Amino acid sequence: MDERVPTTIGELGEFALIERLTARLPQGPAVRLGPGDDAAVIAAPDGRVVATSDLLVEGRHFRRDWSGPYEIGRKAAAQNLADVAAMGARPTALLLGLAAPPETEVAWVLRLADGLREECAPAGASVAGGDVVRAPQITLAVTALGDLAGGPPLTRAGARPGDVVAVRGRLGFAAAGLRLLAEGRDGPAELLDAHRRPRPPYEAGPQARELGATALVDVSDGLVQDLGHIAVASGTRIELDGDALPVPPVLGPAGLHHVLTGGDDHAFAGTFPPDVRLPGTWTVIGRVAEAAPGTGDVVVDGRPYTAGGWDHFRS
């Protein structure tokens, strides 16, 4: 008889692992039925549900030598919760799919769950279900759900010429931190930390809806690229003022580049009617113009910014 306490998920087994996980994942008020059945049941008081799903693959979206499980959990939750908020909705629940090798430590998985839980809680959501399977490599599949509270979804297609463009949240911090890690250099803790754990201001989503936003995205692939999605979907051009962009000195000499192209901070960028009165948490960075073929979908001080974005297969 082996009396050791199981330290790997292979030793612990699927069902015991799920028990240990669910014990760490208290259910919020929106969860009508939590983990342990064929499916979860989540409140959708609006009569519609916002739903989004992302995959995070080890070595591509996170590295275990650069980030601990807690931070990976927070980051995985954050990018999905931010997608829900970017529709103008409030997050209600998350589902976690975890594929992992049997030799993965139980403690690593439990800390991952802690990270998911603690990113969800302030956003108003909880981890209500999921799946664990065996695989040679760690992959996380996160689904987030949310509620629109009676409002219209903030799509990418609603921007109109004359609208102002504004952002709320940090830009470029995660990219600057990632570059430090990639180059093996030390640097400001707030940059390294921003890569490991984004801090999306989720409240910006419902707030933008209340302020009458015409379009909204979260900045996951880079400001120029994500605003480009609004420009294309809306049939408009977006003109950014270089001087209006928030480029704090901590971002270093490539600060402007990080602000324009850096993903993963999950700031919110939206378009608002010209007469909007924005609170101080939002920074106006440009305006929406008529599309002008051949000039680019997004211009900075009148010129296209073509430093490239992020293509998950090509880059």
Residues in 252-281 at the binding interface with a copy of itself, rule: CB under 8 A: none
Alpha-carbon separation of residue 9 from 97, 102, 115, 124, 173 (angstroms): 15, 5, 18, 29, 35
Residues in 136-155 at the binding interface with a copy of itself, rule: CB under 8 A: 136-137, 139, 141, 143-146, 148, 153, 155
Choice from 54, 105, 114, 241 touching a copy of itself (CB under 8 A): 54
Partners of 98 in the β-ladder: 132, 140
Stretch of residues binding a copy of itself (CB under 8 A), selected from 56-64, 69-77, 115-123, 291-299? 56-64
Nearer to a copy of itself, 143 or 281 (CB): 143
Nearer to a copy of itself, 133 or 244 (CB): 133
Per-residue x/- track, 15-34, a copy of itself (CB under 8 A): x-x--------------xx-
Annotated binding site: 38, 52-54, 61, 83, 130-131, 156, 218, 220-221, 264, 310
For a copy of itself (CB under 8 A), the number of binding residues is 73
Nearer to a copy of itself, 4 or 185 (CB): 4
Kindly state the tokens that stand for 166: 């504004």
The reply on whether position 200 binds a copy of itself by CB under 8 A is: no
Choice from 26, 36, 122, 150 touching a copy of itself (CB under 8 A): 36
Please list, residue by residue across 127-153, b when 16 or more beta carbons sit within 10 angstroms of its beta carbon and e when fewer do.
Answer: bbbbebeeeeebbbbbbbbbbbeeeee
Among residues 137, 133, 105, which one has the least CA distance to residue 6? 105
Give yes or no for a contact between 207 and 154, defined as CB atoms under 8 angstroms apart. Answer: no
H or E element at residue 284: strand 283-290
Among residues 216, 172, 222, 178, which one has the least CA distance to residue 196? 178
Least separation in angstroms between CB 294 and a copy of itself: 20
Least separation in angstroms between CB 251 and a copy of itself: 25
Q: What is the spatial distance between Cα 123 and Cα 116, in angstroms, rounded to a whole number?
A: 11
Task: Phi first, then psi: give them for residue 168, nearest 5 degrees.
Answer: -135, 130
Least separation in angstroms between CB 19 and a copy of itself: 12
Per-residue x/- track, 68-107, a copy of itself (CB under 8 A): ---------------xx-xx-x---x-xxxxx--x-----
Nearer to a copy of itself, 230 or 288 (CB): 230
The reply on whether position 218 binds a copy of itself by CB under 8 A is: yes
Sign of CA dihedral 177, 178, 181, 182: negative
Kindly state the tokens that stand for 277: 């009165």
Partners of 142 in the β-ladder: 54, 96
Choice from 19, 23, 26, 53 touching a copy of itself (CB under 8 A): 53
